[in-house]
Amino acid sequence: MQEIKTVVTPVDFSDNAKMIADSATYVAGKFGAELHLIFVVQNFEDYSGFFVPPVNLPSLEQELQDSAQHKMEEFAESCRATATAAGVSTLRHKVIVGDVAEEILQYAEDVKSGLIVMGTHGYKGLERIMFGSVADKVVKSACCPVMTINPYRKGCQKNKE
């Protein structure tokens, strides 16, 4: 098994994102690895044929990227103290535009990630039906091991005797 020097963690800024990031921070700290937090802004091209947006698309995409960048900077800052305390060597963050699963996979490959830590749940409802599970695609195609965390399970119950 390859040495884990870099851990990549996709975040979606949902209520569970901090818990997933904290778990990734803990793991990265145990390996003394860098932690890369990434957020992927879904391409509007993926929705073509489903709806016609009434606004200027390039302007809207730029606004989404700018907003995501601002949220990512705040999110990464909220993780910095925990990362330092856990022994994470470096905390990086990046916003990417494209297909969510493909961009996660490409980023992990580009940074030679030793591990991807991600939540099992992100999109819900119609979006999940149309585009499939991001975690499923990443697990099946990743260049490195993937640790998935179900944010809705609060731990296993011990068997009662």
| 157 in a structural domain | no
For residue 93, list its beta bridge partners.
Answer: 37
Domain CATH number, residue 94 = 3.40.50.620
| 155 in a structural domain | no
| 95 in a structural domain | yes
Residue numbers of the domain that contains 110: 16-29+39-115+140-150
H helices present in the chain, as ranges:
17-31, 57-86, 100-110, 125-131, 134-141
| 109 in a structural domain | yes
pLDDT in tens, the chain (161 residues): 678 999 999 999 988 899 999 999 999 999 999 999 999 998 766 555 555 555 566 677 788 899 999 999 999 999 999 999 999 989 999 999 999 999 999 999 999 999 999 998 755 554 454 445 898 999 999 999 999 998 777 664 444 44
| 25 in a structural domain | yes
Total number of domains constituting the chain: 1
Contact between 104 and 134 under an 8 Å Cβ cutoff? The reply is yes
